[in-house]
Amino acid sequence: MTRVSSAGSGWLVRETMPEWMPEAILLLTALVTLVNWTAIWRENITAYYVTKPLVLHGLILYFLTQVPLTPARLPFLIGLIFSLIGDVLLIPRGTRWFIAGMSAFSLAQLSYIWGFNISLPSMPVLFVGVLALMAGVLVLHLAIDRFAAVSDIKKSLLPFFKGYGVLVLAMAISAVLCLARPGWSELAAVFAGIGGILFFVSDAMIGLDKLDRRLPKYKFWIIFTYHLGQFLIVASITRIIA
């Protein structure tokens, strides 16, 4: 069948696509995600790295086929693309690749922050969010310094850790504040808030790994929370009024 949708610029985008296609893409992406999780749980690194970029590929394709690309949704598409780039850059080992991947994810976080804050909550709610961010930045700074003092991490990396930590924290708080933003349904806001928190938890575990503080099966929990966070963020932005 022919589907007609309007893009953010007002142009008409005509697409010929079966109605079941977005759901089929989402189902296939979910199956690939399960394969990816199983691979890292079993420590099958080759299968893990092969399937890892396919998850974000699938989410991007689902996003583009499920809803029109409007100005309110554009930042999230950019964030997904930079997340995919970050996933690929983090596959090779080495400090330079890690910094490159962190840079790509920094751009992803900035894009999500932009998207979440297109519609602002009331001033009292925004003030509480800013206070939470300031408190969180202080805790991050103190925690990183304390853990770094007894780890083998290169101290030159600490400014990168702290800078990225501020960005992902700001993204998570921005996501939670969707509960008070105009244009966000309750379900979309809940998905966004939980997704943002899970993304933060995933990156916090990456930071703890680099600081020699690891949970059992930490690689599984990192990718599990990251993927769930991305799935929920995509679910939220397909439900916003845009």
Which tens digit of pLDDT belongs to each residue from 207-235?
Answer: 999 888 888 999 999 999 999 999 999 99
| pLDDT at res. 15 | 55
Written as one letter, the residue type at 124 is: P
What is the three-class DSSP state of 210? Answer: helix
Q: What is the pTM of this model?
A: 0.90
Residues contacting residue 238 through CB under 8 Å, at least 6 positions apart: 63, 66, 67
The residue among 238, 236, 234 whose CA lies nearest residue 57 is: 234
Residue 16 has pLDDT above 70, yes or no: no
Distances (CA, A) of 83 to 55, 104, 106, 149, 210: 11, 7, 9, 30, 20
Reported as a single tens digit per residue, the pLDDT across 69-81 is 999 999 999 999 9
* Angle, alpha carbons 239-228-43 (nearest 5°): 155
Q: Helix, strand, coil % (nearest 5) of the chain?
A: 75, 5, 20
- The percentage of residues in the chain with a pLDDT greater than 90, rounded to a whole number, is 81
